[in-house]
Copies of this chain bind each other. A is one copy, B any other.
Amino acid sequence: MNRSELIQQIHQKENYLCIGLDTDAAKLPPHLKDKPDAVFQFNKAIIDATKGFCVSYKINTAFYEARGVKGWEAMEQTVQYIPSTHFKIADAKRGDIGNTSAQYAKTFFETLPFDAVTINPYMGEDSVRPFLEYNNKFAIVLGLTSNEGAHDFELLHVCHTRKKQEVHAEIGKHHLKVYTEELEEEEQAKDEPLRYLYEMVLEKVSSWGTPDNLMFVAGATRTPELAAIRRIVPDNFLLVPGVGAQGGSLKEVSEHGLNKDVGLLVNVSRAVIYASAGEDFAAQAGIAAKGYSEKMQSFVAHR
| Measured CA separation A201–B158 after assembly (Å) | 13
Cβ B62 vs Cβ A156 within 8 A: no
Binding stretch for chain B, among A146-154, A275-283, A291-299: A146-154
Is the pair B107, A66 in contact by a Cβ cutoff of 8 Å? yes
Dominant SS among interface residues on chain A: mixed
Cα–Cα, bound, A149→B104 (Å): 17
When each residue 147-183 of chain A gets 1 if its CB lies under 8 Å from chain B and 0 otherwise, what string results? 1111111101111111000000101101010101101
Copies assembled: 2
Judging by beta carbons under 8 Å apart, are B125 and A62 in contact?
no
B193 A162 Cβ-Cβ under 8 A: yes
CB within 8 A of A103: which of B65, B127, B146? B65
| Complex Cα gap A65–B112 (Å) | 10
**Could you tell me the distance in whole angstroms from the C-beta of A148 to the nearest C-beta in chain B?**
5
Check A62/B201 contact, CB under 8 A, given A68-B76, A94-B93, A122-B142.
no
- For the complex, is A97 an interface residue (Cβ under 8 Å from B)? yes
Residue numbers in B under 8 Å from A246 (CB-CB): 97
B103:A63 contact, CB within 8 angstroms: yes
> Which residue, of A156, A161, A178, has the highest number of chain B Cβ atoms within 10 A?
A156
A103 — nearest CB in chain B belongs to which residue?
Answer: B62
A236 sits at the interface (CB 8 A): no
Contact residue among B66, B120, B123 (Cβ-Cβ distance under 8 Å from A111) = B66
With a CB–CB cut-off of 8 A, which chain B residues contact A22?
100
Q: Is A186 an interface residue (CB 8 A)?
A: yes
- Specify which chain B residues have a CB less than 8 angstroms from the CB of A204 in the assembled complex: 152-153
Residues of B within 8 A of A176 (CB): 169, 171, 176
| Chain B residues closer than 8 Å to A150, beta-carbon distance | 123-124
Whether A194 sits at the interface, judged by CB under 8 Å, is yes
A225 interface contact, C-beta 8 A = no
Within 8 A of B (CB), among A110-159: 110-112, 120-128, 142, 145-154, 156-159
Counting CB contacts under 8 A, is A7 at the interface? no
- 24 example contacts (A-B, Cβ-Cβ < 8 A) are as follows A62-B94, A62-B101, A62-B104, A65-B103, A68-B107, A68-B112, A69-B72, A93-B94, A97-B246, A122-B122, A122-B142, A122-B153, A123-B147, A124-B152, A126-B148, A127-B147, A128-B149, A157-B160, A157-B186, A158-B158, A162-B194, A171-B171, A180-B180, A181-B183
Interface set of A (CB-CB < 8 Å, partner B): 22, 24, 60, 62-63, 65-69, 72-73, 76, 91, 93-98, 100-101, 103-104, 106-107, 110-112, 120-128, 142, 145-154, 156-162, 169, 171-172, 174, 176, 178, 180-181, 183, 186, 193-194, 197, 200-201, 204, 246
Given contacts A60-B103, A97-B146, A162-B194, 4 further A-B contacts (CB under 8 A): A66-B111, A93-B94, A123-B145, A125-B149
